[in-house]
Structure 1
């Protein structure tokens, strides 16, 4: 530009934005929900929804996959030990709830997967199903115009319907966050239900906790990506694995035992 070869500096165009600095400290962000936080949330949730927390942090399922979980998906006699077959989710098509394949699934690749079911999840699930026996819920498959499919659901509302995520988030999950002291309670003088922004503390954070615990426990990233339903292990490391407080002690143990 100084040599008059171009009339304007292209770097000053409005479409050019400053680069955002990368996350500091040479690592990933801390977990937004710790195990202790999830225990508080579990305590504050209504009884019929407490085991949702166990499925999120102990199986790494997405919210819709938990809502679509059926006792028929559990193989208690699997040769490798009890396993959960993740093969559907509850989704929205406008105002209609429908069943669908897991995220990214299609007829050629349904994206179903198997996840180990440990006692930490199996026991509360059994207790939950004793108190709230699974019920058959019929919803369209794929979209509101899809063919009807009936599934026995482990988790459902008092009206024995599939759980609508927006309703659950606003009327069950966020009140539990507030009662646990993790977000501010609703302002009684405000118009509508305007919760404090808490995107990083929604049920998906349980999936992040699961991923971080698995890596911290020695599970390789390829196996973890498979359990989470990710095609790219690099994506799993980049987006789902966070620093866990106290994990550095494992380095000392590993060095001493080398």
Structure 2
């Protein structure tokens, strides 16, 4: 950085420098020491990579978001989520360089006070944080005011997660009508998400090798329009089907049939089902089963818990559920895996059994 300080005829000290693009920046000070301190701060920011053009920071949050978001390659659902988060901030018309950590904290507090779930608050925060991080990368601002913000505490996975019992799932499958029975079974015994189950076509099923290819999902963006797109990032996968699931799918195709020229497994009028239709199916089935408080997504947790109880490792569960990272699987289901203490007790019992059984001593397992 090229900079210098000179005294003006009016007695003030002029400090100026040129940034990496050659643009000159100037400020005037009453004291030379203040001018030098300003240049030193600029030099330190350039060295540490936190320098931002002061003029660029005058753009408002709303204007920067508009320019930045227009350049992003987002799925329609992401566009809606990002726009919702950006519109929710109270500092949308404030220049980016004037937005402080306190502004972000007030926004977080207001969402919490309004009763938004901690997960919703976190999602909006993460989306808005991505805007500020983009502004830092573009040298619009030098620091991200969302750094280190404390969010409302979320419930632990083991406390927040609801897993239906095998008896409850069995009842739901038994009382559902033919089409809904297969849909519920896909969610409970293959772990498919709602949108993935709604998007299954006959060609996705390999009846010979007992597999199901998950290659698309259905998203509805308001109104009757549907959006058929690939699953969430990292979620394309092949699910290995239980023999009973293959039998159920075979009966479904033979007795219920498929929908439209795309041969959707579920739906009507040549289209896969709307999520509102699936919601109606689910509520009707719950009522018929005499059950309450179970969400359709809980069936995905039921499937994961079954895999873990059967001894499947983290990577197997990750691939079966279509998680992009094993850490996602662990963060969600770590409490379901046996602990080191559990494994130690089992191993110790095996040692006792093998040692004492030869002498006729009673053991816990005998």
TM-score normalized with structure 1 length = 0.67
Q: Against the structure 1 CA distance between its residues 125 and 241, is the aligned structure 2 distance closer, same or farther, given a 3 Å change threshold?
A: farther
TM-align CA RMSD: 3.1
For residue 182 of structure 1, the aligned residue among 291, 296, 307 is: 291
Residue 166 (1) aligns with residue 166 (2): no
Q: 1:242 to 1:36 in 2, by over 3 A?
A: farther
Identify the match of residue 156 of structure 1 among 242, 256, 267: 267
* Greater Cα shift, 116-125 or 159-168: 159-168
Greater mean alpha carbon deviation, residues 13-22 or residues 225-234: 13-22
By percentage of residues, which structure has more helix? 2
2:272 & 2:323 partners in 1: Cα distance? 26
1:59 maps to 190
Is the 2:219–2:226 contact (alpha carbons within 8 Å) kept by the matching residues of 1? yes
Q: Quick one: higher RCO (CA 8 Å, sep 6+), 1 or 2?
A: 1
Structure 1 distance, partners of 2:188, 2:343, is: 21
Q: Does 1:102 align with 2:195?
A: no
Structure 2 residue matching 1:136: 3-state secondary structure: coil
For 1:251 and 1:121, the matched residues in 2 are separated by 36
CA displacement at 1:243 relative to structure 2: 4.6
Structure 1 unmatched ranges of 5 or more: 1-9, 106-110, 138-150, 184-197
Question: SS of the counterpart of 1:155?
Answer: coil
Partner of 1:72: 203
Structure with the greater alpha carbon radius of gyration: 2
Residue 212 of structure 1 contacts residue 241 of structure 1 at CA under 8 Å; is this kept in 2? no
**1:7-156 equivalence runs, <5 A:** 20=153, 23=156, 27=158, 31-77=162-208, 81-95=209-223, 96-104=225-233, 111-137=235-261, 151-156=262-267
CA shift at 1:225, angstroms? 0.8
Deviations 1:189-237 (A, max 9, x none): xxxxxxxxx5xx2221111111111111111111211121112212112
TM-score norm. by structure 2 comes to 0.49
CA positional deviation for 1:31: 3.5
Shift of 1:46: 2.2
SS of the residue corresponding to residue 130 of structure 1 reads helix
How far apart, in 2, do the equivalents of 1:101 and 1:22 lie? 31
SS in 2 for 1:167: helix
CA offset digits 1:21-76 (Å, max 9, x no partner): 8649xx55564322211122223322221011221121111111111111211223
8 Å contact from structure 1 (residues 58, 120) kept in 2:
no
Give me the whole-angstrom Cα distance separating, in 1, the residues matched to 2:343 and 2:195: 34
Which secondary structure does the structure 2 equivalent of 1:156 belong to? coil
1:20 Cα deviation from its structure 2 partner: 4.1
Gaps of 5+ in 2: 1-101, 113-150, 352-366
CA distance in structure 1 between the partners assigned to 2:345 and 2:160 by the alignment: 22
1:257: Cα distance to partner? Answer: 4.0
Taking the aligned partners of 1:162 and 1:21, their CA distance within structure 2 comes to: 34
